Amino acid sequence: MKLKVGLLGGGSWGTTVASLTAKNSPTIIWARNQEIVDEINTHHTNTKYLPNAKLTHSLRACISIKETVEDADVIVMGVPSQSLREVLAEAKPHIRPWVPIINLAKGLEISTKMRMTEVIEELMPGHPIGVLTGPNLAKEIHFGKAAAAVIAMVDHSIAQSLQPVFSSGLFRVYTNDDVIGCELGGALKNIYAIATGMGDGSNAGDNTRAAIITRGLAELTRLGIAMGGKKSTFSGLAGMGDLVATCSSAKSRNHHVGFQLGRGKSLEQIISEMNEVAEGVKTTKVVMELAKHYKIDMPIAKEIYKVLYEGNNVNDAFKGLLKYETGSEKEPG
């Protein structure tokens, strides 16, 4: 029997994942915009978020959250982090008991500093909860480029039962039981994508980008372990994999924000010109508080924070980093 999927969120990644699951399982995607719902149902496209992409024909879109989730065997959350709580609360009365809920968002909730699976757990106790994450730039996956992802759930057998829902020939889904590490890998790497974007936008060079990626990995691993993630996760697809893809790609929205900052544009202007979310901007704010709480040294994230929120420019950020003491490359412990 095929599991039925109800996916909430009609942006670029929600639509991409819905198009993937529709190849394997009956899938309904909820979007809050009627024009997008009509376009998906009539033309099998979502041109606002995925120009030139053709979606799986069997994918059905719906404007009603209730209709999207009430018969679903798996719920997938595809809205940005700051909206997840509100959207899930609306869906909650219509979700059947024990149905697994899988998060796609890569961010942290500003008001509570919670991970998305923690928000889901708070709203929906008793449901199996997981995250699908990894180096997965939506705009590549639609054009038939191979990619790999991780589905992380505490219960390995449930993760295994969901693998075939998301997998296809060119989209390889591995399992992992480290939900915390996988989720943090996806959220934290966005900060370093802003950093490498800033470097690329100001012509800093390939060596600089490699240094930021490598030291960024050390930084996010330190915080990730302090928050309960496993060290090995951060060198896997959800950690290093996603960090490398996002930090090196002009298709990344976070890299784009950094790139434009590097070119001298203001954050307000950059955000006002984008119609998609760049989670790293808000995640940087939350991570500064987490770094303080867990007493973790995060020099790159700190410089990015100062550019985003304290009026520093890209030169200030690079000067700040160069002044930072170079200790041993090895992590304590």
Ligand X SMILES: O=C(CO)COP(=O)(O)O
Q: Which residues are catalytic?
A: 189
In the list ligand X, ligand NAI, none, the entry touching 244 (Cβ below 5 to 8 angstroms by class) is: none
Site residues for ligand NAI, 120-179, by CB under 6 A, read 136-138
Size of the site for ligand NAI (CB under 6 A): 26
| DSSP H helices in the chain | 12-21, 34-43, 65-69, 81-91, 116-123, 138-141, 156-166, 179-201, 206-226, 242-247, 253-262, 267-272, 280-294, 299-309, 314-323
* Residue 205 among known ligand-binding residues: no
> Which neighbouring-strand residues pair with 102?
76, 130
Closest CA to 91 of 108, 105, 74: 74
We find the least distance from the C-beta atom of residue 242 to ligand X, in angstroms, to be 5
Q: Please, which residue, 50 or 321, has the CB nearer to ligand NAI?
A: 50
* Residue 272 among known ligand-binding residues: no
Whole-number Å distance between alpha carbons of 78 and 27? 13
We find the least distance from the C-beta atom of residue 251 to ligand X, in angstroms, to be 7
In this structure, what are the phi and psi dihedrals at residue 228, rounded to the nearest 5 degrees? 110, 0
We find the least distance from the C-beta atom of residue 149 to ligand X, in angstroms, to be 9
The bridge status of strand 74-77 relative to strand 5-8 is parallel
In the list ligand X, ligand NAI, none, the entry touching 135 (Cβ below 5 to 8 angstroms by class) is: ligand X
12 touches ligand NAI by CB under 6 A: yes
Site string for ligand NAI, 97-116 (x = CB under 6 A): -------xxxx---------
Class of residue 16 by CB neighbours under 10 A (exposed 0-12, middle 13-18, buried 19+): buried
Residue listed under structure tokens 């990344």:
252
**Where do contacts with ligand NAI occur on this chain (CB under 6 A)?**
9-14, 31-32, 49, 78-81, 83, 86-87, 104-107, 136-138, 276-277, 279
Instruction: List the binding residues for NADPH.
Output: 12-13, 32, 49, 106, 138, 253, 277, 279
